[in-house]
Structure 1
Amino acid sequence: MNLRAVSRRVGIAAAVVTVVALVAPYAIITGPEYASQLASYYASGAVGWSGIALFALLAAVVIASVEQGNVDPGTLAGVAIVLGLATTASAATWALAVQPTAVFRDHLWLVWHAPAVVALSVPLPLSAAVYARAVLS
């Protein structure tokens, strides 16, 4: 088993899955009565949903570009760890800041959405750390 290749794929997949799970309520919850509630839901936290998505997608790009050889692989692997940690930390602060609204009453699964996004983001820094260790050894 090639740990370097597996951890690279897991990191990229974790970043993409985090973003897809993050934006899922936009695709599932429809109706003009929920528009302002979803907007306040996603704006919660220090950086909101856009910061989480930015960190996750940037981490995926960095992890994918380590093997290209344009920049020192050790440096990019370290940047991937930092971006993975930033993704998970911003997702956690967002999940803690979310305030339930009427949309939660109509869509009970939304109560578990923010914690699920945090849980899905955890493999990102872990796989980035494993990948960095494989790159540096």
Structure 2
Amino acid sequence: MELRDISRRVGIAAGVVTVLALAAPYAVLSGGAYASQLADYYASGIVGGAGIALFALLSAVVVASVDRGNLDPGTLAGAAVVLGVATTLSAVAWATAIEPSPMFRDNLWLVWHARVVVALSVPIPVAAAVYARDLLA
């Protein structure tokens, strides 16, 4: 397989997996007792969980559409790198801004959730950068 194709697939998969991992607490804990705490959890940080999901999905779409030929591939590859970096930086800002709540005491896996989201978002800019480098070389 060609390096460009592999990095494109990794970038798309990383964007989708990041969003799925980000949504896990909402899918598991969306109930009456934790509703306000879960809302605060996702609203933490500069752009919150919704912003991270938006950046991750937009990154996946841009990486997937580079070879379609509608716009200059170099421009789209650069935009994918910027969006990937924005995804990871917003995930880091979100993870550092989360305030522990009683919800964490009852669900200990939430202590690691934000760190996992950050770790899963790292391949997005890396794959986009590898794709851009191979495209422009």
TM score, norm. by length of structure 2: 0.98
Paired with 1:31 and 1:72, the residues of 2 have a C-alpha distance of: 46
Say whether residues 1:135 and 2:135 are aligned partners. Answer: yes
Unaligned runs of 5+ in 2: none
> Tell me, which stretches of 5 or more residues in structure 1 are unaligned?
none
Tell me the distance in 2 between the aligned counterparts of 1:68 and 1:18: 24
Alignment match, 1:7: 7
Structure 1 counterpart of 2:63: 63
CA distance in 2, matches of 1:10, 1:30: 30
Letter of the structure 2 residue corresponding to residue 37 of structure 1: Q
Please report how far the alpha carbon of residue 64 of structure 1 lies from its aligned counterpart in structure 2 after TM superposition.
0.6
Deviation of 1:50 after TM superposition, in Å, equals 0.7
Deviation digits for residues 62-91 of structure 1, max 9, x if unmatched?
001101001000000000000000000000
- Distance of 2:32 and 2:134 partners within structure 1: 49
C-alpha distance in 1, partners of 2:122/2:101? 26
CA RMSD of superposed structures (Å): 0.6
Distance in 1 (alpha carbons) for counterparts of 2:48 and 2:116: 16
2:89 counterpart residue number: 89
Letter aligned with residue 92 of structure 1: V
Partner of 1:121: 121
Task: Name whichever of 21-30 and 8-17 sits farther off.
Answer: 21-30
Alpha-carbon offset, residue 30 of structure 1 = 3.7
Q: Which amino acid aligns with 1:121?
A: S
More deviation, 20-29/76-85: 20-29
Q: How many residues align structurally?
A: 137
